[in-house]
Structure 1
């Protein structure tokens, strides 16, 4: 990913995978500013982060930026834009696929002072992604783990479907004016009653 333009006023944070790594990446951060404010991303408390490697996860971003102050939420996306978080995700079986390339993040802090601290960081020693206490999977190990976690267990899926249908049947039982016969919903007019089309 190319570096943002100078006029954008990003702060650069160096980043290494491990303390022994010779390769140093760069994160670009600035205070989140948009014309149409989002209540989930208060502008005075939200940090916008570019150039996050594909192997980084929310927990890791949360841990890294907690160095600047208490973090209340982290949202990773493939590209900048409105929140893609579903307010009421119906099922764990039908979630969005994980991002495959570099990502952006919106880090919401508890206080605006933490955002100011993050954007005022000067040249420093690189932040380290993986430690003995917080290992981060990368490369083939991560790809294999992502693949195996994407395989759905048919029994879990069937249990989920059964629970969903039980809930649906309970909700339908509470709908007034619906006739039932042997567990089947007949509708307001009953079977075989045709309505004229106008």
Structure 2
């Protein structure tokens, strides 16, 4: 896999790059946000490892720029260990958060895990269409009437979860356990993500129906 490492710490970068490459990956290392964004757009990495404290700006800002049009998995690696930092990064679209210091073996395991979870096996995945929406499960892209719609990783996983379980009344707890990384703190977040997903799907967003007292249902037969 192609991995973009955005990390200004020289010692840590010199340690991580060869160790991750020994695990079979190609690593492009950028030491600031500007170079990191350029490398991301030019190289189209499979995974981004992103430090939050960069010399020319915040990693949060770079994360937001990546998430404008891309669903590439992003793992934040940061010395910031406060819960509010983790929540902010995850809400902005990070797929995982690793606090420094950490073992490189743990990081490479998390890389494998996030790729498995977000990408899965690509051999038997097909495009899915409903209404005016086409979902490319491999590229993790959604288009409405031919126009690409940018979804966050969580929104895409929610949509995938619904598509794979059409017409089922799905309990909130089941959705949270299957989609969210931190189920204990995701109850309120679920409603927010559902609302945003409905809005982004336009008229077809009404297919995600609220089942009062239970959760939600994806109605493939709904008229939009």
TM exceeding 0.5 = no
Q: Is the helix fraction higher in 1 or 2? A: 2
Superposition TM-score, scaled by structure 1 size: 0.23
